[in-house]
Amino acid sequence: MEVSIALTLAACLVLLGNHLSRVAAERHRKRLSATDVQALQHSLEILQYVQKHRGLGGQSDAAAAAQRLEVASHLDRLWQEWKGEENRPTMRALWQQIRRNPANFEPHCLLIEQVLESIHVLELRLAYLGNPQVTGLCEACRALEDLGRLRGLAVRAANFERCPLDMQIQMRYLCLRLTDPLGGKTLSNLIEHLERNLINAPRVSLAPAECYALITPIIDERLQGIRHSIA
């Protein structure tokens, strides 16, 4: 009788121990997920502001210069606040180079590619921890970067009397990638407007600030959708 009771108690203790282990593991998983979601939101904000800095870097007027300095100051804070291991020293060093030379286009693109890699790492980790809603997030961010890159090129091309050939080629390629029947009239109208007045125009009729203002609302709207998908 006593042996039977002891065995029953031992079995109950084992089951209780297993249950407590599962509860602890689940709490740990949720803590990790919350930390990674926060890091993901942070990296999305960095992506947004580096893209903005690139677009503003192609404009020489005083208003754009003032806005670019505000964006740069905000980015300085974001880099300092990003505590995750995805915030690599090489990224911060590259940002400092860009800050000193805001007109340089390609370094911005290189930094954005590194931020996208960090976003992909976070996406994979969150999916592994049981957060299927993040699947495809990096792909959506890369589509967003097509728009961001188009904005940066358009702003720079608008400084010329006629769009330079190398920029024409890059923007035509981006417009082709962005052409999507499901993209809506807003995007298709934008592409047509840029092709007619900038990319294929015998004489550029858009100012850099106009190009920035045309594309930015579409980028912001799409980024807001991405953020809501992981909120």
Q: Return the amino acid letter for 173.
A: Y
Given this model, what pLDDT does residue 11 score? Answer: 52
Tally of domains in the chain: 1
Query: Rounded to whole angstroms, how far apart are CA atoms 116 and 73?
Result: 21
Query: Rounded to whole angstroms, how far apart are CA atoms 63 and 72?
Result: 14
* Coil, strand or helix at 127: helix
CA 169 to chain centre: 24
| Residue 9 in domain | no
| Residue 26 in domain | no
| Residue 119 in domain | yes
Query: Rounded to whole angstroms, how far apart are CA atoms 65 and 28?
Result: 46
Q: Give the pLDDT band of residue 3 (cuts 50, 70, 90).
A: low
Q: Give the pLDDT band of residue 152 (cuts 50, 70, 90).
A: very high
- Mean pLDDT value across the chain: 86
Query: Rounded to whole angstroms, how far apart are CA atoms 165 and 170?
Result: 9
The token pair at 31 is 């803590």
Average of per-residue pLDDT across 76-90: 83
Contact 56, 102 (CB under 8 A): yes
Q: Give the lowest-confidence range in 117-121, 172-176, 226-230.
A: 226-230
Scanning the structure block, which residue is given the tokens 């931020």?
115
Given this model, what pLDDT does residue 133 score? Answer: 86
Query: Rounded to whole angstroms, how far apart are CA atoms 61 and 82?
Result: 31
pTM equals 0.84
Higher pLDDT, 175 or 230: 175
| Residue 175 in domain | yes
| Residue 21 in domain | no
Long-range contacts of 111-116 (CB under 8 A, 24+ apart): 111/50, 112/47, 112/50, 112/51, 112/54, 112/145, 112/148, 114/88, 114/90, 115/43, 115/46, 115/47, 115/50, 115/91, 116/47, 116/141, 116/142, 116/145
Given this model, what pLDDT does residue 66 score? Answer: 97
Query: Rounded to whole angstroms, how far apart are CA atoms 227 and 208?
Result: 28
Given this model, what pLDDT does residue 229 score? Answer: 84
The secondary element (H helix, E strand) that includes residue 41 is: helix 2-57
Residue 5: is its pLDDT beyond 90?
Answer: no
| Residue 11 in domain | no
Q: Give the pLDDT band of residue 179 (cuts 50, 70, 90).
A: confident
Average of per-residue pLDDT across 121-144: 91
Q: How far is CA 37 from CA 34, 79, 175, 211, 229, in A?
A: 5, 17, 32, 33, 11
Q: Give the pLDDT band of residue 22 (cuts 50, 70, 90).
A: very low
Average of per-residue pLDDT across 128-134: 88
Closest CA relative to residue 217, chosen from 52, 72, 66? 52
| Residue 22 in domain | no
Domain of residue 71, residue span: 36-230
Higher pLDDT, 191 or 17: 191
| Residue 179 in domain | yes
pLDDT in tens, 39-66: 999 999 999 999 999 999 999 999 999 9
